[in-house]
Amino acid sequence: MNRTILAVVLLVVVLVIGLAVTVIQTRRGVSGSTPTSYYPITLKDASGQNVTIHSEPQRIVSLAPSDTQFLIALGLGKQIVGVDYYSYLLLKYLNATSDLPQNVTIVNTYPSPNISGLVALHPSVVIDEIGLIGNYASDLSQAGLTTFYTNADYAQNYTAVESYILTLGKLFDRNKEAQQVVNWMNQKIQSFETSGDTSVAYLLWINPDHTFYTAGSGNFINAIIQLAGGSNVFSNTSGYPVLSPSRLILANPQVIIAQELTNFSYTNYMINTMPGITSVSAYQQNRVYIMSENLPTFLLDEPGPLSVYAIQMIKLMIEGKAPHYVSSEWVESTLNVTLPVF
């Protein structure tokens, strides 16, 4: 009788343990670790194609700085076996290359990546920006590489950026982590943003004839200027138009923010020699700021999680609390720029 009771008890214990393991595995499949039931998954990417991932990706190639930020923030940095040069450069500015494997391959993407080199990395999936792929999308496909495209570089606001984070969270079964990244971004945005109407002219690039590229309405830089308490004087344009110096003189901004061209001296020279610049309020009031082409420009130009710090950076310029040359060192020490990992 005692042996019978003992056998029954052991059977019950085994069943309970088996049920508990099943529950744990199911929960892991929902929250995101190493699920067995989560895959395969099919999602539509920014190119409109349906991409199917059959099992948990173990080897990832990232070919855009915004995408690399997404992946590291989602806790996938150590699965990245290949990364574009500019992503690696950004991580170097932050002293955060340790977020990647020590033997990560740096991929040169200009004018196009070495496809055979990518194939040699045996990636489970390649993550790339639809706006940066040029003509090599078909090459990736023909090489048999599973590629998932995002489009954060053409986001008009932070909501669009966060939607790509959530999408990648679904692709990699990092749903919980993706929501944590979004929450972190929104907390930073709320703490940095301010209201105001200080007129700002943004000079993305100054050509030798003093015409210049700027940011019009409906793009990410315009959204950052607004959140930082500025009013973009060229918001009546769209995209990234090329304008003549007379347009800058007519707009008469209170603040001019320019991206560095080669070095600070040359950029300053190009601004100082722009026809009619001496009549502009920003010039007269010494409210001209030049951003280093390194970390400051990355924060503004790459719509990833780190871009939230661009709001604070631009706000300090608008408030007259930034140096006239906004260097990487000043940004790091003042803003404490940190890429979160969840």
Which residues face 126 on adjacent strands? Answer: 61, 147
Average pLDDT, the chain: 91
Which residues face 92 on adjacent strands? Answer: none
The CATH number for 117's domain is 3.40.50.1980
d(CA 223, CA 221): 5
Q: What is the DSSP letter of 235?
A: T
Same domain? For 76 and 168 the reply is: yes
Average of per-residue pLDDT across 179-205 = 98
Say if residue 128's pLDDT is above 90: yes
Say if residue 16's pLDDT is above 70: no
Say if residue 5's pLDDT is above 70: no
d(CA 136, CA 115): 9
Q: For residue 11, is it within any domain?
A: no
Same domain? For 47 and 182 the reply is: yes
Same domain? For 80 and 215 the reply is: no
Which pLDDT belongs to residue 36?
57
Torsion, Cα 131 134 138 142, to 10 degrees, reads -110
Same domain? For 154 and 49 the reply is: yes
Q: Is the pTM of this model over 0.95?
A: no
Residues 23-49: tens digit of each pLDDT = 434 434 444 444 458 999 999 999 999
Q: For residue 1, is it within any domain?
A: no
Q: How many domains does the chain have?
A: 2
Residue 135 pLDDT class (50, 70, 90 cuts): confident
Say if residue 86's pLDDT is above 60: yes
Q: For residue 33, is it within any domain?
A: no
Which pLDDT belongs to residue 136?
86
Residues 6 or more apart in contact with residue 10 via CB below 8 angstroms: none
Same domain? For 200 and 175 the reply is: no
Order across the sheet with 205-206: list the strands: 205-206, 212-213, 242-243
Tokens 């990699």, located at residue: 172
Same domain? For 140 and 280 the reply is: no
Residues 267-314: tens digit of each pLDDT = 999 999 999 999 999 999 999 999 999 999 999 999 999 999 999 999
Same domain? For 141 and 120 the reply is: yes
Same domain? For 155 and 198 the reply is: no
Residue 18 is inside which H or E element, if any?
helix 2-31
Which among 189, 213, 231 is the end of a domain?
Answer: 189
Residues 136-191: tens digit of each pLDDT = 888 999 999 999 999 998 999 999 999 999 999 999 999 999 999 999 999 999 99
Provide the domain limits for residue 266.
Answer: 194-335
Tokens 């919980």, located at residue: 176
Tokens of 333: 């020490």
- 34 φ, ψ to 5°? -130, 70
Same domain? For 254 and 317 the reply is: yes
Q: For residue 29, is it within any domain?
A: no
Say if residue 98's pLDDT is above 70: yes
Burial letters for 296-314: b for 16+ Cβ neighbours within 10 Å, e otherwise?
A: bbbbbbbbbbbbbbbbbbb
Which among 154, 189, 224 is the end of a domain?
Answer: 189
Which pLDDT belongs to residue 24?
39
* Cβ-based neighbour number of residue 177 at 10 Å: 22
Helix axis angle, 65-73 to 85-93, nearest 10°: 60
Which pLDDT belongs to residue 21?
41
Same domain? For 148 and 257 the reply is: no
Residue 204 pLDDT class (50, 70, 90 cuts): very high
Q: For residue 248, is it within any domain?
A: yes
Say if residue 338's pLDDT is above 90: yes
Say if residue 18's pLDDT is above 70: no
Tokens of 252: 């008469």
Same domain? For 56 and 164 the reply is: yes
Q: For residue 129, is it within any domain?
A: yes
Tokens of 67: 């995408």
Query: Cα dihedral sign for 207, 213, 214, 215?
Result: negative
Q: What percent of the chain has pLDDT over 90?
A: 85
Q: For residue 268, is it within any domain?
A: yes
Say if residue 80's pLDDT is above 50: yes
Which residues face 43 on adjacent strands? Answer: 51
DSSP string, 170-195: HHTT-HHHHHHHHHHHHHHHHHH---
Q: For residue 9, is it within any domain?
A: no
Same domain? For 179 and 265 the reply is: no
Tokens of 200: 């700002």
Amino acid identity, residue 7?
A: A
Which among 174, 189, 204 is the end of a domain?
Answer: 189
Which pLDDT belongs to residue 309?
98
- β-strands 125-129, 147-150 pairing: parallel
CA angle 201, 205, 210 (to 5 degrees): 85
Residues 47-78: tens digit of each pLDDT = 999 999 999 999 999 999 999 999 999 999 99
